[in-house]
Structure 1
Amino acid sequence: MRETTLEAPAPSTWGEGLVSVREGEAVEIAARLESVHEGILVTAEIDTAYEGVCGRCLTDIREPLQVEFQELFAYPGDEAVDLEVQDDHVDLETEVRDAIVLSLPFQPVCRPDCPGLDPVTGERRSGDAGAAPQEALDPRWAALAELKTDADADKA
């Protein structure tokens, strides 16, 4: 068994959605490599950061990302396997990239209670929970708003 830690920059941008790990971003990997009968078992913890925009209000965000994975790299043999030990080495780049991309949030938010954008003005909402959202009045019906019925007068 061998434990090792390494830090390397991301060789390219990982992720295509609202957020991604940018090229050159530091990726720290703490790996444990264990020799087993079938090959080398790799258990790794990855620390990096992603950046992009909030899915609700479109402000810039940058958040840390921690991912764990475990894969078995098989010794070369007669059977076809996805991951194979090559010249007593294992190539972790594909596994690290896949683990990071799969753990990126699909709908990232700047904070859990982000109110988003106002659909009428397009401005960022203030987040005041007490204020009820104002309904947009269709201008074609504006003239009817001036009409009052007897039932409306009784309510007032």
Structure 2
Amino acid sequence: MRETERDIPISESWGEGLVSFAAGENVHLEVRLESVHEGILASGIAEARYTGECGRCLTAIEAPVEVEFQELFAYPGDEANDFEVQDDHVDLENLVRDALVLSLPFQPVCRPDCPGLDPVTGERLADVPNGEPQQSTDPRWDALAQFTSEPAEGAEDAPGSQT
């Protein structure tokens, strides 16, 4: 068994969408490699920081991610395996990348109660004093604005009205 701890820089950006791990960002790895009958069992923890934009208000965000991983790297043989030992080495890049990228939030937010943007003005609602979006009317409904919800005079006497 071997245990190692390393900081490895990411060569290219990992992840797509609103948040990702930027190229050059360091991934901190704590890895335990154990020899087992079928191959080498790699387990450990990967830590990194993602950057991107809030999905509601589009402000810049940055947050740490910590994931645990475990995978068996099989010795080469007749059966095809996703992870194999090659020349007495294991390549952890795909394993660590997949674990980190899958841990990224689908809808990242700067804070859990982020109110987002005003749909009319585009301002961040967190910066607006009352924090409420401005009420706007759809111009397609302006022609109906002259009608009110109150019944017209004499409507009670009209045929078919209920009293």
TM band (smaller chain):
0.7 to 0.9
Deviation digits for residues 27-71 of structure 1 (CA, Å, limit 9, x no counterpart): 110001111110000102001100000000000001011111100
TM-score, length of structure 1 as denominator length:
0.86
Flag the 1:29–1:145 CA change in 2: closer, same or farther, 3 A.
farther
- 1:49 corresponding residue in structure 2: 49
Find the residue that maps to 1:144 and give its secondary structure. Answer: helix
1:2-151 paired onto structure 2 within 5 Å? 2-126=2-126, 133-139=133-139, 140-141=141-142, 144=145, 149=150
AA at the equivalent of 2:73: F
Q: CA RMSD in A?
A: 2.4
Aligned residues: 150
Flag the 1:49–1:37 CA change in 2: closer, same or farther, 3 A.
same
The more displaced of 132-141 and 18-27 is 132-141
TM-score, length of structure 2 as denominator length:
0.82
- The share of aligned pairs that are identical, in percent, is 63
The more displaced of 104-113 and 138-147 is 138-147
AA at the equivalent of 2:110: C
Unaligned segments of structure 1, at least 5 residues? 152-156
Tell me which protein shows more helix as a share of its residues: 1
